[in-house]
Amino acid sequence: MTKAARPARVEPVIEHVTSETYTTRRGEADVVLYKVSGGAPTWPGADDGSATQEVSATELVWDFFSRCRR
């Protein structure tokens, strides 16, 4: 049985959204999980009537890739 990973940081993003940052043992990479409390299984920021408008998943993904080196 493996131990569940614990986030290195948990931070509020906005009222119903938190981010959990997990770091590798060597600190080589971070994984950030965004949690929407009470959210539906939709793309956050989508204009479909049920998605949260508090954050935009598209902007979060763009921010991630814009920081990657070529």
Contacts of 54 (CB under 8 A, 6+ apart): 13, 14, 15, 16, 17, 36, 44
CB 36 within 8 A of CB 13: no
Q: Quick one: pLDDT at residue 3?
A: 67
Residue range 31-42, pLDDT digits in tens: 899 999 988 889
Residue range 9-59, pLDDT digits in tens: 999 999 999 999 998 777 777 889 999 998 888 999 999 888 999 999 999
Q: Quick one: pLDDT at residue 23?
A: 86
Q: Quick one: pLDDT at residue 70?
A: 66
Beta bridge partners of 66: none
Domain boundaries, the chain: 1-35+54-70
Burial of 61 (0-12, 13-18, 19+ CB in 10 A): exposed
pTM: 0.77
